[in-house]
Structure 1
């Protein structure tokens, strides 16, 4: 008979002997730790009470997220914590015991990074969902953005894709309204006060003054305000436009196509897309197509 393993239960409010799991998964990570995961049937959660608050969210690298009410959430920069151990391992002789020890340290550093990132994303998404009835995000093409070698590591460290997925299922469970607008909407270059559109705006420009009304804008806060306005516009129309899987011009950076101010945005309803959770609420819009005939497939 084998030696029994120490079992640490991670849910103090749940009786392990009372659950009736449908699936049990046992896994082992590179650090040698074993994990047991249970899949169980649970009751449909009760929607959270309404707050009356709405938020547009602009994702970034220096600031992980900036909301339309001016709140900036700093990026913790998880990858910097493991760089030192990786450099030490690179200096060890391959096949040596010292290299194996260094590899174990790198594996533990990776585990800490994963745990820290997951904790940050869950805390941030929970606070966002609990505090707002309507949440508007951008439909960022993360897989294409990481093709930019100068920003690939920083973008991957942010975990934008995971954050969106977490917000999606938490919003569905809480009865919140989540809207995802088109990635080509020029949120940073448009004045949130008067609607003036700049022809260009460099990534290094963090504050700019509107030549139309003279308003001074923080780039990210202004973008978040415009994201919120675009999301509320499509919500008012009751449209559910462009499914998330549709084809669109690809880019390796977070770009905004040039628009002419006199052209009116066109909304085109094509199909809806469900969230793969049985407690989903029917008020989810998959995307917003603010585009001219050039970009509508």
Structure 2
């Protein structure tokens, strides 16, 4: 009976796999998408303003400990904020789907729950959405797919006629007939839809077990692992960033010379379009590199060890912030995490205090004090930042110059067999 129950459980288990499709709307549907993005932002900001007001009032009521005030100003919840906004709807709001408002308030409630949970990576008080943000979007839980065409929900009182309301053709077949809430977003003048498919675990083709383990030491410009090194900032990407720098300077010069009138200039808009195209190209190159590298890792290894870096803290450093951002430390961890979950591979995160860089991979001696290696190398011994020299006289590598990144990778690889060492030494 127990085995039969396990088999049924495996068959019923679903895995979420999200696919992002680029949409090619006509003029009418482009207007519909833009208005939906604006309305979603309006609902979120209205809900946040009301939530802040109710939250401050409830704090005052709790401080005074008066029962009458506590009843009059209860703590805000998703349902209370949503019902208040629905009750005070204006006439123009009925031309948009009611689900846009509901999903916006749901996202707001999730953001507030993260505010009270400091363990969340994006911990902090929710902020108002800006119409100047580079990415605008909304969510829909009423979208449907028929014959490879994605249809967006149309409100009953929409100003767009039914015969002009069209779907979006997907460039590949859907992974499953079942999917969750679809996220539509607009970025750099293009439109996309992220569809989270619900796939049964038994239908996912998992790669064979290899019994191998590897470690990845991430650095600015390249990642080191047991099979070699992958360059994440290739020459073709540097050429794109040079063009980005050129177009940014041109736009800045036009703004200085023409002031506010520059934004309406045709030459300004042309240059801005070229800049956005370069950003798109750089993003596509980086995403292609990350997807191929992470797929190679999960197919070739059963255990993968990486550093649990504080990317936000590293971005605060003026020395390597640009290199860290372009090398996509955070995105690499994000992609590798969900692929390991998909293919049942073990991802080991090294402790932030684990001295992978300061420890000798041969003898285990850890550098302390003035012997430590920094971003500038070691001033005491005159070594460079990419050089590791062990000063333990009993070590076979005594006084030998070793590549610091390879040494760190070998130290991380030890955690695959000895996880008890995953702490500060």
TM-score in same-fold range (> 0.5): yes
Match of 1:26 among 173, 179, 184: 184
Partner of residue 318, structure 2? 149
Task: Please state how far the C-alpha of 1:130 moved relative to its aligned partner.
Answer: 1.0
Q: Secondary structure at the match of 1:41?
A: strand
Matches within 5 A, 1:254-269: none
Partner of residue 345, structure 2? 176
1:40 equivalent in alignment to 2:197:
yes
Unaligned runs of 5+ in 1: 238-264, 266-287, 292-297
Larger mean CA deviation between 135-144 and 205-214 belongs to 205-214
Task: Please state how far the C-alpha of 1:54 moved relative to its aligned partner.
Answer: 0.9
Provide the C-alpha distance between the structure 2 equivalents of 1:219 and 1:15, rounded to a whole number of angstroms: 45
Conserved 8 A contact 1:53-1:134: yes
Matches within 5 A, 1:78-97: 78=237, 80-81=241-242, 82-92=244-254, 93=258, 94-95=262-263, 96-97=265-266
Partner of residue 224, structure 2? 66
Matches within 5 A, 1:106-117: 106-117=275-286
**Higher RCO (C-alpha 8 Å, min separation 6):** 1
Task: Please state how far the C-alpha of 1:180 moved relative to its aligned partner.
Answer: 0.4
Task: Please state how far the C-alpha of 1:5 moved relative to its aligned partner.
Answer: 7.6
1:10 equivalent in alignment to 2:138:
no
- After superposition, the C-alpha distances for 1:219-252 in whole angstroms (9 at most, x for unaligned) are 1001000011134311xx5xxxxxxxxxxxxxxx
Task: Please state how far the C-alpha of 1:47 moved relative to its aligned partner.
Answer: 3.3
Match of 2:208 among 49, 55, 58: 49
TM-score, normalising length: structure 2: 0.50
Match of 2:336 among 138, 149, 167: 167
Match of 2:298 among 129, 133, 152: 129
Q: Secondary structure at the match of 2:193?
A: strand
Task: Please state how far the C-alpha of 1:98 moved relative to its aligned partner.
Answer: 1.1
Q: Secondary structure at the match of 1:136?
A: strand
Partner of residue 220, structure 1? 405
Task: Please state how far the C-alpha of 1:164 moved relative to its aligned partner.
Answer: 0.5
- After superposition, the C-alpha distances for 1:25-50 in whole angstroms (9 at most, x for unaligned) are 4333222x222333322121243211
Aligned residue pairs total: 233
More helix by share: 2
When Rg is computed on C-alpha atoms for both structures, the one with the higher figure is 2
TM-score, normalising length: structure 1: 0.70
Task: Please state how far the C-alpha of 1:120 moved relative to its aligned partner.
Answer: 1.5
Moved over 6 A (4+): none
